[in-house]
Structure 1
Amino acid sequence: MELMCGEAAGIKRALVDPHLLHDKRVLSNLLSLEERYVPRASYFKCGVQTDIQPFMRRTLATWMLEVCEDQRCEEEVFTLAMNYLDRYLAVMPTKKSHLQLLGAACMFLASKLRETIHLTAEKLCTYTDNSIRLQELLDMERLVLCRLRWDLAAVTPHDYLEHILSELPVPAEKLQLLRKHTY
C-alpha cells in the first residue's frame, strides 16, 4: 500500500506543496509576519528582566533542547518554544526560580501546537527532577497564553528551511542529509 503523506520512521508529515514552495508571495508573507513575533528590544538591556541573566537563558535553552532531543520532538518544537520564551520574557519580569517552569510551559505549548502526540505535563515535570508540580505547570501555561495573547502560530527560522533548500543547487539525494544537519 502506498502512503500519500510523507511518513518516515513513524513520523507522519504532509508533503511539501510545490506550488506554495515556489510562490514568492509565501516567502514575502513569512518575512512580513516574522516581525510580529520577534521581541522588540533586548529584555536584558531594557530593564524588563532584573533577576535573570543571559547565561541563565542559555542554560535553560540547553536543557530545553536536550528534552526535545530525548523525546524526539518535531524539529519545530524547540524553535517555537524558544520564541514563546523570548516573547514572554520581553514583557513579564520573571524570577530566576521560575525560569525552568517557564521553559517547561513553553515546550508544553509548542509541543501541543506542532506534535501529533505532544509532550505530557507529567513527563515535563519529571524532566525537572520533579522540582515543579503539575498544577504549577498548568498555571504557567495559562499565564504564558495570556501574556502572548493566545498568538502561538509564530514564524520561526524553521519555516524558511524548505524555501531556502528549494533554491539551492543541491542534488535531491543530498537534501535529506542537508535537512538533518540544519536542525
Structure 2
Amino acid sequence: MELLCCEVDPMRRALPDPNLLYDDRVLHNLLTIEERYLPQCSYFKCVQKDIQPFMRRMVATWMLEVCEEQKCEEEVFPLAMNYLDRFLAVVPTRKCHLQLLGAVCMFLASKLKETIPLTAEKLCIYTDNSIKPQELLEWELVVLGKLKWNLAAVTPHDFIEHILRKLPLPKDKLLLIRKHAQTFIALCATDFNFAMYPPSMIATGSVGAAICGLQLDDGDSLTDLLAKITNTDVDCLKACQEQIEAVLVNSLRQVRQQQQQSNPSKTVDELDQASTPTDVRDINL
C-alpha cells in the first residue's frame, strides 16, 4: 500500500506563543540584552578604509530586493544587516568583497529564520555568478568566527508584537500598523544612521511613524504609551520617529527620480501609482 500525503500548508511558520507574547519578562529580557548585538563602533570612521557609506546602502538595497523576490520572512533582511554591520565593525574589508559579505549574511540569516533557507547556488546567481558557492561557504565560516557564532541577535522585529499587543486599537488597525512598521524597519536597515540605534528604539519609532501615517493618534497619548512600553524617553522617541519619516520621504523622492529618468513620458500621478520593491508608497505620509 502506498502512502501519499497531498496536504500543502502555505504557512510554514509557527503560530505566536501566548506564553511568550504575554509574559512581560520576555520584553524585559529583550530590552536588557539588545545592546549586546549592536556594532561596536561607527566603523566608517575607525575600521573601514575602502568601504564608504553609499556602498553599504547599495549592497543593502540589493539584499532587500533579493529577500523580497525570494519572499523571505520579514526578519531575514534586518538580521542579515545586523550581521553585516557587526562584521564590518571588527574586520577591515575590501569593497570588492562587500557583495560577497552581504550574500553570506543573507545565507546565515535565512538559515536562522526560514523553514526553507536560501541556497548558496541561488545567492550566487543573484550576484550574476560573480562569486562561487565554494567561496560563499568559505566566507560563511569566516563570518561565523568573527561573530563568535552569536547569531540569535535581537532585531526590531522582536519587539513589534510585544508593542502592538499593548496598544488600545482594533485588530484590523493593528494589522495595518504591523505591515507599515515592517516596511519602516526595512528602510532603517538600509540606512547606516540607524545602525547604532537600539532595536527597541527603531521598533517603537517605526510603530509610531505607522500610527502617525495612518492618522490613528489624535494627540500624544499613544506616543506616551509607546515610550512607556519600551522604557524610551519620549523626546528621543519623537526624534527617532521624525528621522524615520524623513528616510521614507527621501526614499520616495529617489524612487520617483529613478522612475522618471527611465520613463520620462510618465506623469507625476502615474509615477505615484507605481509599485516599489519596499512598498513605501503604501505608507506615504
Shift of 1:91: 0.5
Q: Compute the displacement of 1:13 (Å).
A: 1.9
2:12 is paired with a residue of what secondary structure?
strand
Ranked by relative contact order (alpha carbons within 8 Å, sequence separation 6 or more), the top structure is 1
Residue 154 (structure 1) aligns with: 153
Distance 1:16 1:155 in 2: 17
Shift of residue 169, structure 1, vs aligned partner: 1.8
Task: Find the counterpart in structure 2 of residue 21 from structure 1.
Answer: 21
Task: Tell whether 2:64 aligns with 1:52.
Answer: no
Question: In structure 1, what is the Cα distance between the partners aligned to 2:139 and 2:169?
Answer: 44
2:136 is matched with 137
Matches within 5 A, 1:66-145: 66-145=65-144
Larger radius of gyration: 2
- The 1-side partners of 2:154 and 2:164 are apart by 17
Separation (CA, whole Å) in 2 of partners of 1:68 and 1:61: 10
Provide the C-alpha distance between the structure 2 equivalents of 1:53 and 1:61, rounded to a whole number of angstroms: 13
The farther-off stretch of 166-175 and 62-71 is 166-175
Give 5+ residue unaligned stretches, structure 2. Answer: 1-8, 183-285
How many pairs does the alignment contain? 174
Q: Which amino acid aligns with 2:43?
A: Y
Deviation at 1:175, TM superposition (A): 2.4
How far has the Cα of 1:176 moved from its partner?
2.3
Moved over 3 A (4+): none
TM-score (norm 1): 0.91
Q: Which moved more, 1:9-18 or 1:20-29?
A: 9-18
Classify the secondary structure of the residue corresponding to 1:45: helix
User: What are the within-5 Å matches in structure 2 for residues 166-181 of structure 1?
Assistant: 166-181=165-180
Over the matched positions of the two proteins, sequence identity in percent amounts to: 72
Q: How far 1:170 moved relative to its partner?
A: 1.8
Cα RMSD (Å): 1.2
TM-score, with structure 2 as normaliser? 0.59
Q: Is the 8 A contact 2:13 2:115 kept in 1?
A: no
